[in-house]
Amino acid sequence: MPTDKKLVEELLASAGIQTDGGNPYDIKVNDARFYRRLIENGSLGVGEAYMEGWWDCDDLQELFNRVLRTGLDKHIRQNSLKYLMFGLRAKLFNQQSRHKSKRVAKQHYDLGNHLYELMLDKYMMYSCGYWKDADNLDEAQEHKLDLICRKLKLRPGLKVLDIGCGWGGFAKYAAEKYQVKVTGITLSVEQANLAVEKCEGLDVTIRVQDYRDLDETFDRIVSIGMFEHVGYKNHRRFMEICSKCLDRKGIFLLHTIGANDGDQQSTDPWINKYIFPGGVLPGACQIARSIEQIFLLEDWHNFGYDYETTLQAWLANFKAHLSDFEAHLGRSGTRMWEYYLATCAAAFNSRKIGLWQVVLRHPTGSGKYISER
């Protein structure tokens, strides 16, 4: 019977990867227990082993580019009992209930505003930038913000709802540049506190609130990078609430990461445990079903390749301030963030996932809609 090491080496070889090879994307094994951990725990074991220093790689993104392009990740998932059990729980239980939805805010978004300030752009947008005609991260995020404002057809005096407002970047930009009144909601206390500070003096209201408690009308609604936390069991309810809160002549823009391989009911176990608990990327078919007889689809824009560039920019900022992150997170936590950013960049590079901006209106909305690019 092949040894654990032999089995893993054969798996990796199918993707052109060696252990202790000479290529930057090859794996350097520091602890022989790595092989058994991969076999028993799949992607969760691989990620945890990296956090604990059991293996290293000079080019993590290219390593996972190769893993994803060859489908090696699916092979590992199919042979992982823990992954199968994780997926079963996601099918049976609502992982994004009111109570469970607060986990990601406390674990990830309340990590520390200072660290996010070091990694992100001047508007602190923790979502994909729009790199068309942009030379750096600040420009890419400002271009994204303006693209959203133009797609929403903003004009002075409109009431805008920002669901999942983060640190107030969109609210600040829209209020300053387009003179609109913005209400932003988030579940993160840390985000809300900084958003209030950044938007001081503007016509902006920031609230710590669950989207399920919304009951007021707005001219425009935007949600940037929040729908990934809603969960497929709640997609329809989310759209119903947005429909109820949107003026009959209004516009709703949904900015979300999307899965390119159909219905998603759970996420990667390592991502779920360490980065985004309860998060799951929507598939195109899931979004389409969730808006049936509620909204009219006006535009669907995919610029997923821009997310790879955005993640690489975040990773560069992260590495430039490595000592700050390590002082706050420790060595294991710092390796966790490096692993997260690099593997996500690979997922966009391999086109496993994309970035979608979807423009929606009520079916009774009048007038022709012309999209922006």
- The model's pTM is 0.92
Question: In the prediction, which pLDDT does 85 show?
Answer: 45
| Listed residue (294, 220, 229) closest to 257, CA to CA | 229
DSSP secondary structure letters along 268-334: -HHHHHHT-TT--PPBHHHHHHHHTTT-EEEEEEE-THHHHHHHHHHHHHHHHTHHHHHHHHHHHHH
| Listed residue (78, 100, 46) closest to 271, CA to CA | 46
Question: In the prediction, which pLDDT does 103 show?
Answer: 75
Question: In the prediction, which pLDDT does 86 show?
Answer: 43
Average pLDDT per block of 10 residues along the chain, 373 residues long: 84 93 97 93 93 98 94 67 46 51 77 94 98 97 98 98 98 98 96 97 97 97 96 94 97 96 76 90 96 96 97 98 96 97 96 96 86 86
In angstroms, rounded to a whole number, what is the distance separating the alpha carbons of residues 138 and 311?
A: 13
In angstroms, rounded to a whole number, what is the distance separating the alpha carbons of residues 116 and 109?
A: 9
Which of 149, 242, 245, 344 does the annotation list as catalytic? 344
Strand order of the β-sheet with 353-361 is 204-208, 181-186, 159-163, 218-224, 246-259, 353-361, 296-302
3-state secondary structure of 253: strand
Question: In the prediction, which pLDDT does 2 show?
Answer: 65
**Annotated domain spans of the chain:** 4-79, 97-361
Question: In the prediction, which pLDDT does 371 show?
Answer: 87
In angstroms, rounded to a whole number, what is the distance separating the alpha carbons of residues 25 and 99?
A: 40
Q: What is the DSSP letter of 234?
A: G
CATH code: domain 97-361 is 3.40.50.150
Question: In the prediction, which pLDDT does 108 show?
Answer: 85
Q: Where are the alpha helices (DSSP H) in the chain?
A: 4-13, 33-51, 60-69, 72-78, 81-92, 98-104, 113-119, 137-151, 169-178, 189-198, 235-245, 269-274, 284-291, 305-320, 322-349
Question: In the prediction, which pLDDT does 265 show?
Answer: 64
Q: What are phi and psi of 128, to 5 degrees?
A: -65, 135
Question: In the prediction, which pLDDT does 100 show?
Answer: 56
Q: Answer yes or no: 199 catalytic.
A: no
Question: In the prediction, which pLDDT does 99 show?
Answer: 55
